[in-house]
Amino acid sequence: MSTFNNVTVTKAANIYYDGKVTSRVVSFADGSTKTLGIMLPGDYEFGTEKAELMEILAGDLTVKLPGSDAWQTIKGGDSFDVPANSKFQLKVSAVVDYCCSYLD
Amino acid sequence: MSTFNNVTVTKAANIYYDGKVTSRVVSFADGSTKTLGIMLPGDYEFGTEKAELMEILAGDLTVKLPGSDAWQTIKGGDSFDVPANSKFQLKVSAVVDYCCSYLD
């Protein structure tokens, strides 16, 4: 799916890490939300509240998921799940375009 | 207006200048389009096809508009117009969150 239709977009961006990570919130009629975001090359740590499905639309990164000591290689077209109320670490090596879905 | 309602969002970002400038297309029911974007600190030049209204939601920059030799200071809350089929230059000093409207 290349577009999201009949959605609400919050105009102001979320800005993290001096703008190296940014995202915007997209809200759907069923009450669910996603963010569409960009991560520039760098090392990041994020925390979740809800569980997340991270779809990597483009770019290259490695991710260390909660409870793992291994860094997993992720490329454009790949996705990964992050549990609720957890932390995960990312090393981005090529600009990442992503879609994050918040799961109930 | 803090949200755009009943719109279509193109999932994939537009990525320029190694990711230092990124945007996503928002399409409205009346056929008009805007982009919501981020510019990290740096010097940029862009060309227009349609005329543009650039609303700066947050950040600091100076802009040199077509036909002017002066650099104009722009802050969050300010906006400026760019003519169709022209080039303009920007120097971004603090991360810019913007909304660009394409005018007929």
CATH of residue B65: 2.60.120.10
Of B7, B10, B99, the CB nearest to A2: B10
| Mean pLDDT calculated for residue range B48-57 | 98
Domain assignment present for residue A1? The answer is no
Domain assignment present for residue A15? The answer is yes
Q: What is the distance in angstroms between the Cα of B11 and the nearest Cα belonging to chain A?
A: 5
Domain assignment present for residue A3? The answer is no
Of A3, A18, A27, the CB nearest to B11: A3
Task: Quote the tokens at residue A72.
Answer: 């997993």
Q: Is A104 a residue whose pLDDT tops 90?
A: no
Residue with tokens 């490695």: A62
Q: Is B104 a residue whose pLDDT tops 90?
A: no
Beta bridge partners of A84: none
Report yes or no for ipTM above 0.90.
yes
Contact B54, B86 (CB under 8 A): no
Domain assignment present for residue B3? The answer is no
pLDDT at B1: 65
Strands (E), chain B: 3-10, 14-16, 21-27, 33-39, 42-47, 51-64, 72-75, 79-82, 87-103
Domain assignment present for residue A28? The answer is yes
Domain assignment present for residue B2? The answer is no
- Cβ distance A38 to B40 less than 8 Å, yes or no, reads no
- Cβ distance A7 to B7 less than 8 Å, yes or no, reads yes
Task: State the residue range of the domain holding A66.
Answer: 8-103
Tens of pLDDT, residue by residue over A76-97, are 999 999 999 999 999 999 999 9
- Cβ distance B19 to A12 less than 8 Å, yes or no, reads no
pLDDT at A1: 65
Domain total for chain B?
A: 1
Domain assignment present for residue A29? The answer is yes
Q: Is A27 a residue whose pLDDT tops 80?
A: yes
The average confidence (pLDDT) of chain B is: 97
Of B15, B26, B38, the CB nearest to A97: B15
Domain assignment present for residue A12? The answer is yes
